[in-house]
Amino acid sequence: MIEEEIITGALVVALFATGGLTVFLIGATVWTHAAASRNEKRRDRRWNAWKPVLLDALVGSRDPSSVALLVGRNAHGDYFRLLIAYALRLGGRSHDVLAEAAAPHLDTAKEMLHHRRSDRRALATHLFGLLGSRIDLKPLRLRLKDESPAVAMIAARGLARSQDPDFVRPVLDTLDRFEAWGVNAVASMLALFGFDAAPHLMLGVADPARPESTRCACVESLRLLGYPPASDLAVSILEDGETPLEVQAALLRLLRDIGGPGHAPTVRELTEHPSDVIRIHAVSALAAISLQPADAARVENALSDTSPWVALRAAQGLIDSGRVASLRTVASEDSVRAAVARQALAEAGLAEVAA
């Protein structure tokens, strides 16, 4: 009996404790939502007071520094968010006006770069990345090593927007932190550096000591920039034979978009590669860069590839390169590759012609 009473009592205590915890969590959630609502209303009031003055400054009827005089002691966060919102939409002379409006409060922003809260560090980093001078950008190099990957990425984008080649290597050295963003997002950031940074990006591609993801991002950024010298580098790396498959695939995508007939011999060999991934991109690249009948026949033969993905890419390559007539001929056959040809023609809106 005593043991049963002890167990019963423990259960009652546990139930009360659980109930108390539930009430606490509900209360905390309500309080958080209420606080967020208050902050949003306060921000709206401040923005409504600042916007007319800022707009006057943007059209030249008011000194930009006069906007900063309206900012109270604890209002810097909301002010920085307003400037960032406009900076993301405007450029040219407007960018200079926004930078002047930010200038009186940049000391506060510099202090925020070292704030214990990552969202504050991110806000200040974003502000400097958009509106800071070259001198103001230097502290962002430290933020590349911020404990928050999000802050580090904002810093990297800010440095890339400067289009200063001196910042390329520090950014490349930290790219392994951004793998979660994916190659395309990282490459888009690197492309912000512009043409002047392309030689540095090529060094990143050529360096076998760098992580595979970094090399792929550098290749993709060069493709986005459309930098012609990168094509010759791509061929030399592809001929090495020791390059990781994902890097090879990225190099073939680059050749597809900015390569030329002179690069066809290397690509041609890779259409016979044992990896499906490499054959997919090699067939696509060969269809794009070579007009030789022998290469057109090679691409057409890929319609019978053991990988359906390679076969479909070959069909798409024939369409993209204007060789639709040969694909229609294949589509009229009674064969496996004919089904691939018909599917590609249908996806390209040519199904009726194929029929």
Q: 278 and 232 in one domain?
A: no
CATH of the domain at 344: 1.25.10
Judged by average pLDDT, the poorest of 191-195, 211-215, 291-295 is: 291-295
What pLDDT, on the 0 to 100 scale, is given for residue 7? 67
What pLDDT, on the 0 to 100 scale, is given for residue 30? 46
Q: 247 and 150 in one domain?
A: no
Q: 235 and 273 in one domain?
A: no
CA dihedral 257, 261, 263, 266 (to 10 degrees): 110
Which of 162, 194, 218 terminates a domain? The answer is 162
Digit-coded pLDDT (tens) for 118-145: 999 999 999 999 988 877 788 899 999 9
Digit-coded pLDDT (tens) for 3-17: 666 666 565 555 555
Phi-psi category of 141—alpha, beta or left, where left has phi over 0 and alpha has psi -120 to 50?
A: alpha
Residue 174 counted as domain residue: yes
Token reading at 168: 């390329």
Q: Calculate mean pLDDT across residues 236-259.
A: 94
Q: 38 pLDDT exceeds 80?
A: no
Residue 33 counted as domain residue: no
Length of the chain: 355
Residue 251 counted as domain residue: yes
What pLDDT, on the 0 to 100 scale, is given for residue 269? 94
Q: 198 and 237 in one domain?
A: yes
What pLDDT, on the 0 to 100 scale, is given for residue 132? 83
Q: 354 pLDDT exceeds 90?
A: no
Q: 354 and 334 in one domain?
A: yes
Residue 343 counted as domain residue: yes
Q: 335 pLDDT exceeds 70?
A: yes
Average pLDDT of the chain to the nearest whole number: 86
- What are the angstrom distances between the C-alpha of 162 and each of 103, 166, 219, 223? 18, 10, 20, 20
Q: Calculate mean pLDDT across residues 226-240.
A: 95
Structural domain range at position 341: 264-288+296-355
Q: How many domains does the chain have?
A: 3
What pLDDT, on the 0 to 100 scale, is given for residue 15? 53
Residue 28 counted as domain residue: no
Q: 100 and 52 in one domain?
A: yes
Q: 214 pLDDT exceeds 80?
A: yes
What pLDDT, on the 0 to 100 scale, is given for residue 36? 56
Q: Residue 20's CB: how many other CB atoms inside 10 A?
A: 10
Q: 207 and 127 in one domain?
A: no
Q: 342 and 330 in one domain?
A: yes
Q: 110 pLDDT exceeds 70?
A: yes
Residue 24 counted as domain residue: no
Q: What is the DSSP string of 148-204?
A: SHHHHHHHHHHHHHTT-GGGHHHHHTTGGGGGGG-HHHHHHHHHTT-GGGHHHHHHH
Which of 146, 162, 178 terminates a domain? The answer is 162
What pLDDT, on the 0 to 100 scale, is given for residue 133? 80
What pLDDT, on the 0 to 100 scale, is given for residue 119? 94
Residue 17 counted as domain residue: no
Q: 276 and 219 in one domain?
A: no
What pLDDT, on the 0 to 100 scale, is given for residue 113? 92
Q: 221 and 239 in one domain?
A: yes
Q: 168 and 154 in one domain?
A: no
What pLDDT, on the 0 to 100 scale, is given for residue 14? 57
Which of 144, 162, 180 terminates a domain? The answer is 162
Digit-coded pLDDT (tens) for 59-69: 888 898 888 88
Q: 170 and 124 in one domain?
A: no
Residue 94 counted as domain residue: yes
Q: 245 pLDDT exceeds 90?
A: yes
